[in-house]
Copies of this chain bind each other. A is one copy, B any other.
């Protein structure tokens, strides 16, 4: 079978909608994913900003199925699949791979701390072997400020040089792709030969972030980057996930978008108002967003 073309540009760790009973809402998720894809933003569903680790395995499997049934393109998907227990990681990864997802974003097991590179190597190797599918393309998810489990350069070298080398070569015919974990580094990443960024703020600022990825060789690239940074700074005054959800609630006209699962807390009405107000002078907009 032909290799799936590797994913590039901007992806959003897609925020996950909940109803008032804290159940995930697959229909609203599909609608938001459609808006993102329309604006050329790929779907890193089940990332940190997706509250993925507040979702059960069954909920993630059901949401992924729902997106596929809704017709969203797996070639634009990079689901987060790294769980604490490797059998969960295997099951979710396999589901993504058999459905043709462009890749998976894999956290290391994150409960036990100060584990060795040997142990992390064994974790990834176990998953790769058990999934056992040449279509698997893994993106290692390095987010030590949350996971507290860094992925070291030594570990990456070992994964590339190990028994799994032949697999990795098949999965990554274009080599080793790097995405920065924020749109703040988008221009620098692209100039340095990177593939793009995975940006929480792209959940709402999708058109502007995607535009920089498309036009980063233009003369206004630095201006674009500066504008993105200003929008980002407005969000960073709050807990990022509730802030993103508050803005989507406002622009979609659906207050349920503001709901988060504990241990996160929704923005207060005052915080939300202040955030919305702070975005106005920054030319922030969400064009084409339909009520959901």
Q: Please report A residues at the B interface, Cβ cutoff 8 Å.
A: 22, 48, 53-57, 59, 84-88, 108-113, 115-116, 118-120, 122-123, 126, 145-149, 261-265
Contact = CB atoms under 8 A, between A and B. Distances in A.
A111 B263 CA distance: 9
Nearest to A120: B263
B55 A85 contact: yes
Contacts of A54: 84-86, 109, 111-112
16 contacts: A48-B111, A53-B84, A53-B109, A54-B86, A54-B112, A57-B57, A108-B263, A109-B262, A109-B263, A111-B147, A113-B145, A118-B265, A119-B262, A122-B265, A123-B262, A126-B262
A265 B115 CA distance: 8
Contacts of A262: 86, 109, 119-120, 122-123, 126
Given A111-B110, A122-B263, A263-B109, A88 B146 contact: no
A165 to B, nearest CB: 19
A203 to B, nearest CB: 17
A119 B57 contact: no
A53 B84 CA distance: 6
A110 B48 CA distance: 13
A84 B84 contact: yes
A84 to B, nearest CB: 4
A88 B55 CA distance: 9
A163 to B, nearest CB: 15
Contacts of A148: 113, 148
Contact of A264 (B87, B110, B112): B112
B84 A59 contact: no
A111 B113 CA distance: 12
B56 A112 contact: no
B263 A146 contact: no
A162 to B, nearest CB: 14
A113 B148 CA distance: 9
**Lowest 5 CB-CB distances: which A-B pairs, in order?**
A53-B111, A119-B263, A122-B262, A123-B262, A115-B263
Given A22-B126, A84-B84, A126-B22, A263 B56 contact: no
